Amino acid sequence: MVTSRLSQRGRLRRLIPLFLLPLLFTAGCGPKPQLTVAPAFKPVTGIDSAYIVPFAAVLVPDSFNETVFNDFVDQLNRNRRQVGAKSFLILKEEVKDVDPAWLARQYYISGEIWSYVEDSGCCSTNIRVKARVYLHEPGQKEPSVEIFVPLEAFFDHDKSTLEREQDRLAHNLARELSQRLLAVMATAAPR
């Protein structure tokens, strides 16, 4: 009787951190969005075109990556007047295949999506993802702006489906990335 009660306490002590983990994420202890801006960065105004390199994705479902990228491009084009750009165009070639002299004269945007994790239980699922977008200015070898955005979605299986929540998270990620990028392109970020 005494040993079984002690072993139950031991099991409870090991389980408590598992119960606290979701609370830490909802309490804001997870990673935060970050913005890094080079000291010489100047707001982008009156450009003809900015080019967007398709996002690199590591262990991310193809449909999720495609939704994020396509929605990101659409949102930039819908709001291009904020930065005085005529258009945001997708660079169809790999960066390594593009003439380096031409690319060095262009504004271009690249990005990556990684750390896509689905934690499913019997009744709910938590999806986490991290993404980063870079703005490259003409004549600069390194990106002038780096935007990091982690997002997550939690849902009950009775109220939604994995496909619906993946789609919602992809659109939210695209919106977050595009809004943050347009804001920094339009005005110099605080240092």
21 and 95 in a single domain? The answer is no
96 and 113 in a single domain? The answer is yes
Task: Point out which residues pair with 107 in neighbouring strands.
Answer: 50
Residue 153 resides in a domain: yes
Residue 92 resides in a domain: yes
- What pTM was estimated for this model as a whole? 0.80
Candidates 107, 103, 104; CA nearest to 43 is: 107
What is the sign of the dihedral through the CA atoms of 174, 106, 78 and 146?
positive
Residue 191 resides in a domain: no
50 and 9 in a single domain? The answer is no
104 and 141 in a single domain? The answer is yes
Predicted confidence (pLDDT) per residue in 48-107, tens digit: 899 999 999 989 999 999 999 999 999 999 999 888 889 999 998 888 888 989 988 999
What is the sign of the dihedral through the CA atoms of 97, 103, 108 and 113?
positive
Share of residues in the chain with pLDDT > 70 (%): 82
- CATH number at 36 reads 3.30.160
Orientation of helix 62-78 relative to helix 162-186, angle to 10°: 40
Position 191 confidence tier, pLDDT thresholds 50, 70, 90: very low
85 and 22 in a single domain? The answer is no
Query: In this model, does residue 117 exceed pLDDT 50?
Result: yes
39 and 16 in a single domain? The answer is no
C-beta of residue 145 within 8 angstroms of C-beta of residue 42:
no
96 and 175 in a single domain? The answer is yes
26 and 100 in a single domain? The answer is no
Domain that holds residue 10: 1-30
Number of domains in the chain: 2
